[in-house]
Structure 1
Amino acid sequence: MTRHDLASPAPTAALTPTPVTYSEHDGVRLLHFAGAEHCAQGAILLSEPDRLLLPYAQQMMAWLLFLDPAQLADAHVAQLGLGPGSLTRFCHRRLPQARVTAVEINPLVIEAARSAFHLPDDDHRLQVLAQDALDWVMDPAQHGTVDALQVDVYDGVHDGSPALQSLAFYRACRRVLRAPGVMAINLHCSNEGFARNIERICEAFDYRVLIFPITMVENTIALAFNGPTITVEWAALQARAEVLQSTFGLPTADWIEGLRRVNPHQQGSVLTL
């Protein structure tokens, strides 16, 4: 394994961005925060950089089960937290009908994503903003502008908890969404704030929430819904998942059974949210 410093620590100052590093092993490049190299903030397969490699990143695309970008006027997907840019790059490459916005507070992360993780430059469909995600979701100009919001806000400082996790933040995330709209959020299950975060998300979204089974790295993805009530047969959702798997190469067909199993309030033949 090799490790590379992408930025040397800057002189101590208020709000100094956390430096980032990357490591490589068996053709996989991983992004880390300096001082927290035991945790990966994302990864790419160097031979296939556009492929979503990690299961939690794949599951962050589960909003596609409920929204078809091709059927949306001015489809807009946004990421809060960039990491190595895996989701941003995937959405930009694989959803040509959608605009993609990524919001990342740490300019060193943006630099790393572009210099070492194949994130393309901004264009008419892609915009990467060096901005606090909380400020972005609180801005009334962003409200009602996003179809799918992907939230992955970790900074290597908060001991496994999201950097943003207040009820006010989750309510602002809901305001950013159009109707219908879906938020997908990555949560670590190994910290004591996990249950509190789930409860806040449920409160902010009127308990219209689905949770994925926990992955082997103790992550889970939650989906939260805005807009009209969703009523769909699980069998139809399975059929949609199989289409998505053939289209995008994601293991979507394997997700449905797990979603039914860990969401006991949705055990019938029809999913209602």
Structure 2
Amino acid sequence: MSKKIKKMAWAPATLSEFDGVRFLHLDSIWVQGAMRIRKPQHLELEYIQRMMVWMLWRDSESLREGHALQLGLGAAAITRYCHKVLRMQTTAVEINPTVIHACRIWFHLPEDDKRLTVYNEDAARWVADAERMQTVQVLNVDLYDHDAASPVLDDEAFYANCFNLLADGGLMTVNLFGRDASFARSAARIAAVFGSDQVWSLAPTKEGNTIVVAARGVAVPEREELERRAANIEAQFDLPASKWLRLVRPLPMSIINQLKAEPQT
């Protein structure tokens, strides 16, 4: 069973289906996740595929190694993928128990086993636990409320705890809205913690989702090596890694200049 937090009132998880795809909602029209019913391990949404861009920063020998953590379960797409396809040690943290229940019933999320643990807990408290420091190699952060307007955890203290969770060489991806004014603030907070030379972003999807990648002490490979890794990912996992590579860019100078202008604490 999932490890639980105190009972509270939560926005209920609801479902819709269209053209062979099942969607998760939180009592609103906004999509919180999706699964192609006949291909449950396929990553259906483009921004969810891009959350896997961390794979470019890992060589083929270590691609499947380590502990993958998902903050915000959604329709469990990344959690299923890390557990079932990559076969990594996988953990998910989700505050809303109705989401976990819906994922177990409707989105092929398996029960906990020796490689999978789902916590019904507050992600802010979970990542702040000092006993978990440097225990994670891959961290995926997708924390939005039922209105899907902005991240519910988005301050420097939270990102500092995320940094502390990562082992040396660890990688974090974060879903942000790149066409929203909050993107620059969020990216600047991440860069303030990880360092601007350890943070990159992808161009926004057509829906406006921008994936930010942050690393803890990762040396960026040469372009030829990244191209080899992209080709390997495409061949093994049928993910559009070559497209990711074309879309990855350093943080805009406006954000870096904003960091330089702010007083250091």
Using the size of structure 2 for normalisation, the TM-score is 0.88
CA offsets 1:57-90 (integer angstroms, 9 cap, x no match): 0111111111258538961000000011000001
Match of 1:21 among 8, 14, 20: 14
In the TM superposition, what is the alpha-carbon distance from 1:189 to its structure 2 partner? 2.7
Structure 1 counterpart of 2:50: 59
CA offsets 1:79-113 (integer angstroms, 9 cap, x no match): 000011000001111112x2000000000000011
Match of 2:231 among 242, 252, 257: 242
Distance 2:60 2:225 in 1: 18
In the TM superposition, what is the alpha-carbon distance from 1:24 to its structure 2 partner? 0.3
| Aligned-residue RMSD, C-alpha | 1.9
Answering whether residue 151 of structure 2 is matched by residue 171 of structure 1, we say no
Question: Quick one: higher RCO (CA 8 Å, sep 6+), 1 or 2?
Answer: 2
Instruction: Give the gaps of 5 or more residues in structure 1.
Output: 1-13, 266-273
Comparing 231-240 and 139-148, the one that deviates more = 231-240
Match of 1:252 among 241, 258, 261: 241
SS in 1 for 2:221: strand
Distance 2:61 2:248 in 1: 25
Return structure 1 stretches of 4+ with deviation > 2 angstroms: 67-74, 189-192, 262-265
Instruction: Please show how residues 1-273 of structure 1 align to structure 2 within 5 Å.
Output: 15-34=8-27, 36-37=28-29, 39-68=30-59, 71=62, 75-96=66-87, 98-157=88-147, 160-207=149-196, 208-227=198-217, 229-260=218-249
Contact 1:17–1:108, Cα closer than 8 Å, also in 2: yes
Distance 1:200 1:102 in 2: 23
Contact 2:199–2:251, Cα closer than 8 Å, also in 1: no
Instruction: Give the gaps of 5 or more residues in structure 2.
Output: 1-6, 254-265
SS in 2 for 1:237: helix
Distance 1:221 1:170 in 2: 15
Distance 1:61 1:72, change over 3 A: closer
Distance 1:31 1:106, change over 3 A: same
Structure 1 counterpart of 2:4: none
Specify the code of the residue in structure 2 equivalent to 1:210.
Answer: W
Contact 2:179–2:204, Cα closer than 8 Å, also in 1: no
Contact 1:183–1:225, Cα closer than 8 Å, also in 2: yes
Distance 1:111 1:190 in 2: 32
Contact 1:160–1:190, Cα closer than 8 Å, also in 2: no
Distance 1:74 1:236, change over 3 A: closer
Contact 2:55–2:63, Cα closer than 8 Å, also in 1: no
Distance 1:168 1:21, change over 3 A: same
Contact 2:95–2:121, Cα closer than 8 Å, also in 1: yes
Distance 1:259 1:74, change over 3 A: closer
Contact 2:203–2:247, Cα closer than 8 Å, also in 1: yes
In the TM superposition, what is the alpha-carbon distance from 1:231 to its structure 2 partner? 3.4
Percent same amino acid at aligned positions?
41
Distance 1:251 1:32 in 2: 26
Using the size of structure 1 for normalisation, the TM-score is 0.85
Structure 2 counterpart of 1:10: none
